[in-house]
Amino acid sequence: MTSIAHFDVIVLGGGQAGLTAAITAAENGATVCILEIAPRALRGGNTRHTRNLRPMHESGAFPMEGAYGFDEYLDDLLRVTDGDTDHALAELTIRESEHSIAWLQDHGVAFQPPLSGTLHLGRTNAFFLGGGKALVNSLYRVAANLGVHTIYEATDIALNISGDRFIDLTYQQANNTHCLSGHSSGCRRGWL
């Protein structure tokens, strides 16, 4: 084992969900590490390829137009999934999506006005200025400024869990094995 590091929070994956978790944890005082399987130039997972998000909103404030309320959003989701969805999770996600635009803007993400045309989505979708790659880059800048440590090209991640308690994890990078743990547990050198 070539290195051992300790963090309060370890996030697996550096897409929008992982970055949001890492930033939120760091803003609340945690030491945070993101393990990203991709090289830096390709970081962000599927988020790199997105162009917009769909948040619930009760009024039209930039970048949204009009209102897209809870009931309409839920109806749209149920129609798309033919009703095969976890209703409690769907309702929570829809309600919490209302805060996503402000949170992203507060963290450096820019939005653009919606395009007009046959399929006008300005009421339901918020479009990222520069697309998903700009979103990822903005959130990584915020994470770095908060002291979040990012490890790229981390492969073969193995978690060591005892009961319901995380002990540590190992990963490969450039043919070397590394170990990360929480502050109260520790990568034991003989563990491998």
Q: Where are the domains of the chain?
A: 3-191
Contact 5, 179 (CB under 8 A): yes
How does pLDDT run across 86-132, given as a tens digit for each residue? Answer: 999 999 999 999 999 999 999 999 999 877 765 678 888 899 999 99
- Which pLDDT belongs to residue 185? 56
How does pLDDT run across 9-55, given as a tens digit for each residue? Answer: 999 999 999 999 999 999 999 999 999 999 999 999 999 999 999 99
Neighbours of 168 (CB within 10 A): 21
Mean pLDDT of the 148-165 span? 93
The tokens of 17 are what?
A: 């969900």
Q: Label residues 129-141 b or e (16+ Cβ within 10 Å = b).
A: ebbbbbbbebbbe
| Phi, psi (deg, nearest 5) at residue 22 | -65, -45
Handedness of CA 19, 157, 39, 32 (dihedral sign): positive
- Which pLDDT belongs to residue 189? 44
Alpha-carbon distance of 155 to 38, in angstroms, equals 9
DSSP codes, 149-187? EEE-S-EEEEEEEETTEEEEEEEEETTEEEEEE-TTS--
How does pLDDT run across 177-188, given as a tens digit for each residue? Answer: 999 987 555 554
- Which pLDDT belongs to residue 2? 55
Cis peptide leading into residue 39 (ω within 30°) = no
Picking from 10, 1, 3, 6, the residue whose alpha carbon sits closest to that of residue 186 is 6
In CATH terms, is domain 3-191 a member of 3.50.50.60? Answer: yes
